[in-house]
Amino acid sequence: MKKIAIFASGNGSNAENIIRYFQMPGRDGRVELVVTNRRDAPVVGRAARLGVDCEIFDREQFRDGARVIELLERRGIDVVVLAGFLLMVAPPLIARYRGRIVNIHPSLLPKFGGKGMYGRHVHEAVVAAGEKVTGITIHHVNEHYDDGAVIFTASVAVEPTDSADDVARKVQELEQEHFAAVIDREFIAPSRQID
């Protein structure tokens, strides 16, 4: 059974969906741990309700990385999933999990990626630029923001009348539809046909 840690800073809708997906019978992995930098983030309550341990570190501890790595190793974590995690991941942690650390970005990278491009900012920029299409990018994580090799993309039309909220909703639907299954296919059970 492969063990997944999810790093999340906020709402945690992706985290919840991934936890639930891997709680279904017959999976070869499970979410062992949620890691966050915000004690008051909704993801903390979601993890608790779903019976998943949640660990909180401060900005400095994430920057340094040593205690986070120590936790991941102690809990036997195989795969690290960034799902709305807003801090930089320490380079030693990225090195330790190279090829086994994945992020989801709510646009079609390289468009609307990079520093400051997260959450609402992304969807507002998409609308302001008059884009006709947007989507999600699931990618490996390296030492640079939104720059690792792309694993999967899915796209959705942006209508001229769409607000940033409309775009956010559409993108969130794509996240819910694909993120857990892509993690499964890529990192947990690559040799198996996934439904």
* Choices 68-76, 98-106, 138-146, 152-160 (CB under 6 A): range interacting with ligand GRF: 98-106
Q: Which residue is nearest to ligand GRF (CB)?
A: 84
8 binds ligand GRF (CB under 6 A): yes
Which helix (H) or strand (E) is 4 found in, with range? Answer: strand 2-7
Q: Which of 13, 36, 37, 134 binds ligand GRF (CB under 6 A)?
A: 13
Instruction: Give the pairing of strands 133-140 and 150-157.
Output: antiparallel
84 binds ligand GRF (CB under 6 A): yes
The first and second tokens of residue 97, run together, are 């999990």
> Please, are residues 8 and 15 in contact by the beta-carbon 8 Å criterion?
yes
x/- mask, ligand GRF, residues 40-69, rule CB under 6 A, reads ------------------------------
119 binds ligand GRF (CB under 6 A): yes
CB atoms < 10 A from the CB of 12, how many? 24
Active site residue 123: no
In angstroms, give the least distance from the CB of 17 to ligand GRF: 8
Burial zone of 96 (CB within 10 Å; 0-12 exposed, 13-18 middle, 19+ buried): middle
19 binds ligand GRF (CB under 6 A): no
5 binds ligand GRF (CB under 6 A): no
List Cβ neighbours of 128 (8 Å cut-off, separation of 6 or more): none
Ramachandran category for residue 3: left, alpha or beta (phi over 0 → left; psi -120 to 50 → alpha): beta
153 binds ligand GRF (CB under 6 A): no
- Binding residues (CB under 6 A) for ligand GRF: these are 8, 10-15, 83-84, 104-106, 118-119, 175
